[in-house]
Amino acid sequence: MIFRVGAAFYLINLIFAEAYNILAVVPLSAKSHYAVVDPLLMRLAELGHDVTVYDPFPKNKKIPRYTEHDTSHCSVSEIPVILSIENLFSLLRNMYLGITGMFLYSVDEKMIMECTPLYELLNSTKKFDLFITSSFNADIFLIYANKFKIPFITYTSANKLFPWLADRMQNPQNPSYVPELTTGFLSNMTFVERVKNTSVYLFALFYYNFFVLTKYEKVNKHLLGASAKPLYDTIRNTSILFLNSHNSFSSVVPLVPTVVEIGGIHIKSPAALPKDIEKFINESKHGVIYFCMGSLLRGDTFPEEKRDAFLYAFSQISQRVLWKWEGDLLPGKSDNVMIAKWMPQRDILAHPNVKLFISHGGLLGTTEAVYEGVPILGIPIFGDQRTNVRAIESNGAGELLDYNDITKEVVLEKIQRIINDPKYRENAKQLSDRYRDRPMSPLDTAVYWTEYVIRHKGAPHLKTAAVDLSCVEVDGNGGTSSILQSYPSQPPEDQES
């Protein structure tokens, strides 16, 4: 059993629960986003609910009470996979570009109009009890909540709320101690960092409300008619927002009842390793290092001098290295290095002989290593990766390796220090114990609140009254942050400039 299960009365409740009709749309063709919601949808079907899913990763097999519509031909990834690690780092290292970059490849009207399954859904007469979708950068899909007039739950694959998400939930987001996700700051910021954090926070709110939401409002009215409920109002009716976090290793922030942490929901019991990988790990007398830059970043796009820095470091250590390398060949590879275009990361990290995880700091891989107590050497490239790695570093369970600092000497020194100093492993194990210690597993938590929302007709009683306040009605206790977390009194597109 992965996490401690809730009380017996909850399990009994599941057995006798009423069956519901649930609709879900997965907007982005990025596995890191899909992995957060897929376990929930599958479990809901296992519990007897009828689940209808539009997603870009079809299972292509018959699953009882689970109806799947393939949207792989019309989904978008948030960042083009053709970009190299070097290009992504150069393009998105700027905090402000990191914000705008999230929406450059977001879903637009054209995708919905040209995607047959999604367009047909707009004309469907089927009845649903609940709608589930991502809140990352695809609020346009809330047109389906408008169309079917049903409560909805959203989820984000990040471990913190973006300013526009905190805004809609009216979750306290004081930028003096709550770091904006793309800054890479922790809660104990310096004065200069607090100034930068506040400026990014304000920029994100402004950009979303007056550019992104304005575009989505036009699509909403085009597809559903001029009398359609504005998305501006719809998003404030979010019943629950699932946050892919846990306060055991990320910065502790206040959360309103409508924001529920489900960090680690994707973690399953480890499966048997492929024979060649298992043999490679078992026969390593000094342990194994696992090196992976995620599903989006390609290890084979490292510039030659940085690739050679890793190759040199690996040739100087006694450990073996498993390297997820997408190319056919790796020139200069030493005998202690095994490469493959795909590796079962979850299962590798669960092996007790794995001593270090070299990673880009993606949240799913980071939480898998945290769960298994494996120290991390993180090389953040964009998005929330720096924040994730700094959180690990602040807990003493790993170190950050800045991309610009990658040299033969630096890589070797950091690898040797983390592996040879027992404090990193000890801290990683302590962090793992905290991460696992919960009254209910993240999956059971998500199931409970999903059914709760349906049972209580959207659960409007959970919302803070601040959600319905205009910018002139907030009290004096919230300060600048509270004022900025309120929407304008008119939808952006109806305001005069």
Q: What pLDDT shows up at residue 9?
A: 40
Average pLDDT over residues 58-85: 75
* Nearest Cα to Cα of residue 430 among 376, 388, 370: 370
How many CA atoms within 13 Å lie on the side-chain side of 191? 0
Burial of 11 (0-12, 13-18, 19+ CB in 10 A): exposed
Least confident of 262-271, 308-317, 328-337, 464-473: 464-473
Angle of helix 408-420 versus helix 304-315 axis, rounded to 10: 40
User: 8-246+440-494 adopts what CATH topology?
Assistant: Rossmann fold (3.40.50)
Helix, strand, coil percentages for the chain (3-state, nearest 5) = 45, 10, 40
Q: What is the pLDDT of residue 491?
A: 44
Report, as an integer, the average pLDDT of 294-301: 77
**Average pLDDT across the chain, whole number:** 87
CATH architecture, domain 275-436: 3-Layer(aba) Sandwich (3.40)
pLDDT attached to residue 340? 95
- To 10 degrees, what angle do helices 422-436 and 363-372 make? 100
Check if the beta carbon of residue 375 is closer than 8 Å to that of residue 349: no
Q: What is the pLDDT of residues 416-463, one digit of tens each?
A: 999 999 999 999 999 999 999 999 999 999 999 999 999 999 999 999
Between 249 and 145, whose confidence is greater?
A: 145
Q: Which of 11-20, 279-288, 397-406, 434-443 has the lowest mean pLDDT?
A: 11-20
Domain ranges of the chain: 8-246+440-494, 275-436
pLDDT at 4: 46
170: left (phi over 0), alpha (psi -120 to 50) or beta: left
pLDDT at 88 over 80: no
Closest to 169 (Cα-Cα) out of 250, 237, 216:
237
pLDDT in tens, 212-251: 888 889 889 988 998 899 998 999 999 999 999 998 987 7
- How high is the pLDDT of residue 118? 92
Q: Supply the pLDDT for residue 81.
A: 47
Q: pLDDT digit string (tens) for 161-207?
A: 999 999 999 999 999 999 988 888 888 899 999 999 999 999 999 99
Tell me how far apart the terminal alpha carbons of the chain are, to the nearest angstrom: 57
User: Residue 403 — φ and ψ, nearest 5°?
Assistant: -55, -40
Task: Answer yes or no: is pLDDT of 289 > 60.
Answer: yes
Q: Each residue of 462-497: pLDDT tens digit? A: 999 999 887 655 544 444 344 344 434 344 444 433
More confident residue, 140 or 343: 343
Which carries the bigger pLDDT value, residue 258 or residue 386?
258
Residue 78 has pLDDT above 90, yes or no: no
pLDDT at res. 297: 74
Does 114 or 341 have the greater pLDDT score?
341
Quote the DSSP letter at residue 324: E
pLDDT given for residue 485 in this prediction: 42
Q: Residue 344: which pLDDT band, with cuts at 50, 70 and 90? A: very high
DSSP 94: S
One fold for 8-246+440-494 and 275-436: yes
Report for 16-20, 32-36, 322-326, 369-373: range of highest mean pLDDT: 369-373
95 is written with which tokens?
């905090």
More confident residue, 494 or 323: 323
Rounded CA-CA distance 283/353 in Å is 10
Instruction: Let me know: does 137 contact 106? Beta carbons within 8 Å.
Output: yes
